[in-house]
Amino acid sequence: MPQNQNVYLAALWTAGALISFMIMAVGGREAAAELNTFQILFFRSIVGFVIVSTLLSYFGWGQVRTTKLKLHIFRNLAHYVGQYGWFFGIAVIPLAEVFAIEFTTPIWIAVMAVMFLGEKR
């Protein structure tokens, strides 16, 4: 694939990800009027489980094999806490503020990479 096509493909995937995050935020905000955060996460997890199970049934369950189960469980717990905070935030603060905070993520990643992974400054 020529270099320009890679750039266009990357831009397409990025746009798709941003659109899906916006849809998730608006959907979460609307769902928060009727459901609590735990219920929203429950239904989101059910949908995700069905999608991932379908894909793994086709491509093979060996894709999710791990030799570091404790680390995997810790990562999933951290992800759950992050999701809970995100959906709770969507329900209680304006969406513009949620997205403004999200755009600081690359800064935090860079800072934490130096602190925890020993990256050079």
Contact by Cβ (8 Å): 99, 18:
no
Kindly state whether residue 33 falls inside one of the protein's structural domains: yes
- Mean pLDDT in order along the chain per 10 residues (121 residues): 80 92 90 94 93 93 88 93 92 88 90 90 71
For 54, the token pair is 């379908």
* Domain, as residue range, for 65: 3-93
Q: What is the pLDDT of residue 2?
A: 64
pLDDT of residue 63: 84
Helix H segments across the chain? 3-31, 37-59, 69-92, 95-102, 105-117
Question: What per-residue confidence (pLDDT) applies to 62?
Answer: 87
Residue 114 lies in a domain: no
Domains identified in the chain, total number: 1
- Residue 36's pLDDT is what? 94
In a domain, 107, yes or no: no
